[in-house]
Amino acid sequence: MDDIKLIVTDMDGTFLNSNHEVSPEFPKVYEELKKRNILFVPASGRQMLGITKYFGDIESEMGFIAENGGYVIYKDQELFADELNQDYVAEIINSIRSIPGATAVLSGKKKAYFETDNQSFIDYIAQFYTGNERREDLTQPVNDSIFKIAVYHPESSEEFLYPTLKEFEKYNLEVVVSGQYWLDIMNKDINKGNALEKLQKSLNISPMQTMVFGDYMNDIEMLKNAQYSYAMENAHPLVKQVAKFEAGSNDKFGVLQTIKSYLNID
């Protein structure tokens, strides 16, 4: 592990604790990474603005993988942006409406769009999405680049969303459980792993020089694209099967503890 050049981490359930907070030790660790020319890259199912807001003045020095791999930037330059195939959006939205408790969000470059008037849900997604807009009917086109349809269920996305929505894989779409309560629908082959590969190639960094952290199924492809792959202690069992190593839980800021150990700093 003497030649790590790239550290990539999922955000929710991984880098952030359960209160969606960054470890107070991060600025010190980040400065040490900079000294050693190691690029730090958050990779999330979140909208880009929902990630970059955590990093303030250092945002322009970093790379970011947003929208589960649908949108990649490096030092403020767009490397990749994939617009969702919208041919089937209306059909998908109608299917989501048929699932009790399910709520859809269209995640775009400018804004996130939803049709619910449930204020608790609106307040909840404000943690993840910026510039939110309520619309009367999500089956109607919006003037924006849409990266994905994110679907929320208050009990379990794996149990209540995936069995119904997996049928849309027949349209050459990715349908992936991205968290305990969330499922994402994107164009085929859009995932964090392919986005990471694009970033690695653009920077001439190999998987052998890459360290990755994740906790849920939408992290599996990027874990496979790194020699040093870590599942969080709180990770889904399928993620732990894929990762080579395990980090402490997100509530113990396991990502930072692992990086500190690698850097040999207190």
- pLDDT band of residue 34 (cuts 50, 70, 90) is very high
Mean pLDDT of the region 192-207: 97
Distances (CA, A) of 170 to 65, 83, 164, 165, 185: 26, 18, 13, 10, 12
Distances (CA, A) of 96 to 102, 103, 168: 6, 7, 11
106-155 pLDDT, tens digit per residue, is: 999 999 999 999 999 999 999 888 889 999 999 999 999 999 999 999 99
144-178 pLDDT, tens digit per residue, is: 999 999 999 999 999 999 999 999 999 999 999 99
H or E element that contains 93: helix 89-97
How many alpha carbons lie under 13 Å from residue 128 in its C-beta half-sphere? 24
pTM of the model: 0.90
Average per-residue pLDDT for the chain: 96
Mean pLDDT of the region 1-26: 95
pLDDT surpassing 70 at residue 54: yes
pLDDT surpassing 90 at residue 87: no
- As a whole number of angstroms, the distance between CA 172 and CA 166 comes to 11
The whole-number pLDDT of residue 266 equals 86
Mean pLDDT of the region 15-41: 97
CA-closest candidate to residue 239, choices 260, 212, 209, 214: 214
211-232 pLDDT, tens digit per residue, is: 999 999 999 999 999 999 999 9
The whole-number pLDDT of residue 1 equals 64
Domains of the chain: 6-81+190-263 (3.40.50.1000), 86-187 (3.30.1240.10)
The whole-number pLDDT of residue 131 equals 84
Enumerate the β-bridge partners of residue 132.
112
